[in-house]
Amino acid sequence: MLQERASEKYTRWLLLLVACSSLLTLGGIVLFLFMEGLPIFNSISITDFLLGSLWYPTDEPPLFGIFPLITASLAVTVLASALAVPLGVMTALYLAEIAPSAVRRVVKPFIELLAALPSVVIGFVGMVLIAPLMQDWLVAASGLNILNAALMLAFMSVPTICSVAEDALRAVPHSLREASLALGATRWETLAQVVVPAALSGIGTAIMLGMSRAIGETMVVLMVAGGAAISPTSLLDPVRPMPASIAAEMAEAPFRDVHYHALFATGIVLFLLTLTFNVIAQRIAEKHQTSSSAC
């Protein structure tokens, strides 16, 4: 009897440990990120790092201004969202509210398949297929630019945005729709003025998750964004988003050298940005839960 109780206790501890492991991992990674990133500020001030406009990490003396990298990340993310949000949300609306179930059964798996495409494959498409087209059709100096990267990132965020938004739309209680229709509203009016407002916070979460997916994506921007460390002035400028810079340079940066610390510090900035997106998404989701339970 005693034996059994002891084993039960151990099992419980084991499960607790398992449950905590992801928390510990996250904590460990964040701690490591800060430990390796913060020493850069011994050799350069925070303002020079964040607002400096020249990124020459291996020159003598090195220059670590990541402002062009931050603007690059924001530019591709914002543009990607501008493309992906309408596409994702409207697809979700169609699938959740309008599509006959036969259509839905065919279309939905394909959208989910889009999410399963490895990013390197999408990057390859951008590099080999889209880049030459942009040079020919848009007369871009180089097809490796913001627009190309944003297009590819939009491809990747559409499935996320679409499936989260669709769930939110489906969670809107049927009673709301019925009440609206009963009051004489048309199907369109019901959709635009009742269902979408009721699901708005869920759609907001979807958008935020899609954006954080886009800002953290590495392979695609490494392959198609162009890699020039300049603050962009046009949609067809090549840029160097933060993840691309970290991925390209980390392997060759000497261990615990200033360059190494600078890349980790860039990682901190990137982490704080994605964290912001996720916190906003979480906030919106919480609001969503309370509002739907009130219905």
Partner 1 sequence: MNAFRLLLAGALAITLAAPVAAAEKDIIVNGSTTVLPVMQKVSEAFMAANPGVHISLSGGGSGNGIKALNDGLCTIAMSSREMKAKEKEQGKAKGIVPVRFTIAKDALVPVVHPSNTVKDLSVQQLRDIFTGKITNWKEVGGKDEAIVVISRDSSSGTFETWAELIMNKEKVMPAALLQASNGAVTQAVGKNKKAIGYIGFGYLNDALKPLTVEGKAATAAAAKDGTWPIARDLYLFTNGQPTGMVKTLIDFTLDQQKGQKFVEQVGYIPLSK
**Residues 83-122 close enough to bind partner 1 by CB under 8 A:** none
Binding mask 252-291 for partner 1 (x = CB under 8 A): xxxx-x-x--------------------------------
- Three-class secondary structure of residue 256 per DSSP: coil
* Spatial distance between the Cα atoms of 7 and 151, rounded to a whole number of angstroms: 55
Where do we find the tokens 């886009």?
Answer: 214
Up-side HSE of residue 167: CA atoms within 13 Å toward CB? 14
Q: Which stretch binds partner 1 (CB under 8 A): 36-44, 108-116, 123-131, 177-185?
A: 123-131
- For partner 1, which residue of 141, 181, 269, 280 counts as binding (CB under 8 A)? 141
Tokens of 258: 């200033």
188 near partner 1, rule: CB under 8 A? no
52 near partner 1, rule: CB under 8 A? no
Contact between residue 37 and residue 30 where contact means Cβ atoms under 8 Å apart: no
Judged by beta carbon, residue 107 or residue 228, the one nearer partner 1 is: 228
- For partner 1, which residue of 55, 155, 264, 277 counts as binding (CB under 8 A)? 55
240 near partner 1, rule: CB under 8 A? yes
**Residues 32-51 close enough to bind partner 1 by CB under 8 A:** none
75 near partner 1, rule: CB under 8 A? no
57 near partner 1, rule: CB under 8 A? yes
- Three-class secondary structure of residue 240 per DSSP: coil
Contact between residue 249 and residue 229 where contact means Cβ atoms under 8 Å apart: no
- For partner 1, which residue of 34, 41, 111, 135 counts as binding (CB under 8 A)? 135
Binding site for partner 1 (CB under 8 A): 10, 54-59, 68, 127-128, 131-132, 135, 141-144, 222-223, 226-230, 237-238, 240, 247-249, 251-255, 257, 259
